Amino acid sequence: MSTFTTPEWVHHAVFYQIFPDRFASARYPQIPKPANLEAWDTPPTSHGFKGGDLIGVLEKLDYLQDLGINAIYFTPVFQSASNHRYHTHDYLKVDPILGGDAALRRLLDEAHRRGIRIVLDGVFNHASRGFFQFNHILECGASSPYVDWFRVHGYPLHAYEGKPNYECWWNLPALPTFNHANPQVKKYIYEVARYWLDQGIDGWRLDVPFEVQEEGFWQGFREVVKTANPQAYITGEIPWDATPWLQGDQFDGVMNYLFTYANWSFFGGRNIHRELVGHWEGHGPQYFSTSGTGFLANLEKLLHLYPMPAVLAQLNLLDSHDTARFLSITGGDPRLLKLATLVQFTYPGAPSIYYGDEVGVEGGQDPDCRRSFPWDESRWDHKLRSYFQLLIRLRLAHPALRTGEFIPLGSSEDAVAYLRRLDGACFVIVINNSDAPFHITFPAGPLADGTVLQDLLGKGTARVENGNFAGLALPPRTGALLQAG
């Protein structure tokens, strides 16, 4: 669509993804919490609760602001009987363990005062057995007025024993799927979306939206959201090519898992832990290239896959609550995370940091990827966190790194170089993903002979001679962010 626009603030956002049960527990909770909580620093389990809450996040806004982020994406916060809260009981109530509606209100007010946007997770494909309308069917059977809110194939419902006789996500009886063809269901979901926007949230991340097959559903959702707030962000969890959803009538962007796969494979190389990658490789196998040439080609290809407004609104991530941690996938070498983060913060779209990556948190597949944040600073990789801070500061200081032209310069088996340019400002990013020093000799593209470039990540310089870079050697597994003088 020629009129396709995406929220301007997203183009300049640095997101931080928070899994609320695991990020921070309030020192001064507003309401009493249940007593049966797991110890904070013990390994996470599938069903146990650590007791993280929204007041805890509020108390850590200084930490987040010091890091440099200006937007937060929360996995679900609504009332639920699961620690991840993708089993929603009530879409109009914040979970009491998280502090309830009052905690979200306080967090929104303080975050907005600091210039930090808040995006919530919308789980609108399925509900839970505790969702009122489904529970009503459990109690009343075929006599329930809500039977057509779901697709039921028999009574009584087999919600706890036997094969479920109603449609549910991945045949999990705890996750009955909505009947989106029912106008009442559609109206309810749209009203939920509008309600929280009216409360002040800045957008929605949509869980498994590809599962909703009802024609026009997401188009209607966009209309409701953009009517409530034209600058609200809509991003979807689409782990493969999202072209059908990014034509201007549905989402602004998606969680850019194709970008994720490209980083996993190049930086993980032949030592990538494929058992931790798991099923994700099947969603975009063509983006799994171990060579620098293939990696640069993938980066360029992704910039032409979608309309530019969507490219600038992509949520560019290296891992998430649904994947193993980047550090674990690639073998635990923080140098590789630094290299991938350099790419992430010099690439079009909004970078998204999964909580704890910046201090070196590792983790395998769910639930291990959802470890509690280690607030004991002796356990932090302080050099890694400082590197994140520097990259965030540089990205926010230089518009060219956010919305500038992306120009590939050269690649080899283990190295990549590209240029970002806007209004005369030029930056060259060089990645050395090898175990040996790399002398930068790639073509300099539009940079004239005699141009001198300063590395903003170190003390080195490069210059342009006879159309090529010269004068700078990168140590093994390092990168440079060169500013043309």
Active site residues: 207, 237
- Length of the chain as a residue count: 485
Please give the backbone phi and psi of residue 119, each rounded to the nearest 5 degrees, phi first. Answer: -115, 130
Q: Tokens 């209607």 — which residue?
A: 220
Convert 271-295 to b/e letters by CB count within 10 Å (16 or more is b).
ebbeebbeebeeebeebbbbbbbbb
Nearest CA-CA partner of 117 in 348, 318, 350? 350
The residue assigned the tokens 């106008």 is: 183
